Structure 1
Amino acid sequence: MRTLTKDTTNKVGELVILMGWVHVRRDHGKLIFIDLCDRWGMVQVVFTPANKELLASADKLRSEWVVEIRGNVKSRPKGMENLELPTGSIEIEAEELQILNESQTPPFALDTDGYEIGEDNRLKYRYLDLRRERLKKNLILRDKVIAFMRDFLHQRDFIEVETPILTKSTPEGARDYVVPARVYPGKFYALPQSPQQYKQLLMVAGIERYFQIARCFRDEDTRGDRQPEFTQLDLEVSFAKQEDILAITEELYLSLVRTLFPEKKLTLDSKGRIPVMTYKDVMEKYGTDKPDIRKNKNDREELAFLFVVDFPAFEWKETDPSISSGQGKGRWDSTHHPFTKPRVESVEQFWQEFKEKPGQMLADQYDFVLNGYEIAMAFRHMAALPRELTAWS
């Protein structure tokens, strides 16, 4: 049975079978050393003159060749340990070597962080680029983050539900990707920009607490914080108020950072909580609704989360650009969408405030900001649409 490189330190004196990639071959004359890599790490293998045929085979090895090695695990001689390597206290004395696959010389070095290589070239050979230690760590860390989120939400009675990928086109913030429907000529499916409608139907169905690690697709220009295909943590909760959602979001992200990123420094308020500011206050103080509130904006280890609440429910949209007056020909439109709940307790209060000061009405909506980037948003839906609002709309 194959032994992983990370387990070799517990098998001193035993015969093991290793499989992986040749990272480096070093020829010391009578001895040949290779560093053998697998996903879990690296271990040194030594070929000795005791088996000349084996030594000759090892002499042919080159970087990135795939091999199977059978050998004995031995402690390294005193003073020759490699303290920078988790397996640096041992080495494998090879007894058998099988070359599983040879490799051409890679188009670029794989033992660097890769920043010095052009992105187009790295993407062309992505399967090689992903062998890079930095990128492997990123994938492993991403997996840990998703596993943490799943465990956290399952412990709080959330149910993970996968919603359909082939769906109907609906108005969203970007253009849809469309897929021809073979059995319905002339008709198309759309790939979801978010699971919005399906998760609301799950609430109607009585699921109450839903989450999904959701794939989303948006046909828009790629930017630093935008790409056509991405993954998001999607949540929906029934019978919850804004403070309930803020609380679970805060607990999730603070727990995640403290567990998986203990080296990070959190910027919190005097009570050890994520700060909360109103939309009005952040606009007056910072001139943006997604401010970077880090104490030291050059510190890559500092994380400054912020909840921005009390967004305007309505904004004035002019329908005739030839009218310069701020209250010319136009209408009051929903800032987010028509089903976001205004912060009122009754239809009567809604009508009174809308007639008197529509621009000052607030929405039950918040944004979640990290170091100057919006990383999440949430809002409360109207539980019902009264006749008065139906007539008004």
Structure 2
Amino acid sequence: YATKPSGWSKMYAYVYTGDGATAKNNAAWPGVEMTAMAAADSCAKAGTYKYEVPDLGEGTYRVIFSNGSGSQMPGASQPGFEFSGKVSWDGSSASLTAITCTATPPVIKTADITFSATADLKTGETLYAVGDWGQGKGKTWTRAGGVKLAKNGNAYTGTTTMTKGQAITARLIKVDANGKTTWDEIGDVKATADKTKTVDLKWTNAVENTVDITINAAADLKTGETLYAVGDWGQGKGKTWNRAGGVKLARYGNAYTGTTKVGKGNAITFRLIKVDANGKTTWDSAKDRKSKADKTKALGVSWTSGKVNEDGTIPDDSAISISGKGVADGKLSIQKGNLAELYVIGTQDATPSDAVWWSDGAAVAVSGTGTVYGVQTGTAKVNVKVGNQTATITITVK
């Protein structure tokens, strides 16, 4: 290490051993230009110059510093400074100072990532970890750019060297003897190459990426009828909103219950249907029930209510509501001069004799049994009261 003297534009180190014919040097005069240190290491401060001396064999090592154009230390015809080990020159003294230090270890810029996977392979199948861990354009998410995993004890392992700090996104694929590729369905496994380490993968075919959704439903079934929950919770193309893709509910205590596996995070939308012995299907009149498969859970529903209890308990049906053909979300549209039949749901009696009906607008007239008549264009609210319960519907006459 050396400090550049004032007035010198460059720093050269001429290192040699021996004299005359036995002399060896690091380069022809003026030697090798020293490197200016932009940042301090454990042996010198920033702004000094550094030179790593090559192996010139056995002998006494000497060094002459110069600017490469006439100025040197020691002076002309003088032997160089004798040294061994790590030394420092302050830029003016006629001697070197021995220094003791531990050089800063080089920064490791890569990390070895080992993929360790558990999977059942058939004869002729090969397992790979594929994905994106900075392999380069065109090499991500391909077998060629992935890591081939070999049997190692109870697992399949393979290692790749990647840039330290790089994000890792990986999945497993199986490739059979004919080159057919099968992807696992568990989803991507994510990690970071913060250090040399092992990333565990498991071939699970979505078992760990699904949740169990149990539907508990209350309904009155006639002899020969079966209850189903049908809708969309990711069963696949062509299987939504039909009995074949639905959940058959079996009697259990005071409710009907059935369970299905749903992809974690999927939205759930469903309704109840009754299917009689002849295959005739009757849909409930309540609006779609909605939830999300955020975890394994039970949903409590009722034939007469659109409410969903996320704790699996059956909703309280003591509250009444108005239903009828064409009624949706508390609204109904009819033509002027037409009739519509309304009825009360949410009570033990589908058409309770003590129900009191009335209209609050001139657009609609309503009878004591729930028959409404479109008197004139406009909007009115029709109400019904049974005991202490009241329900309202908005009717638009066109």
Is the TM-score greater than 0.5?
Answer: no
TM-score, length-normalised on structure 2?
0.20
Higher strand fraction (1 or 2): 2
Higher helix fraction (1 or 2): 1
TM-score, length-normalised on structure 1?
0.20
Q: Decide which structure has the larger Cα Rg and report it.
A: 2
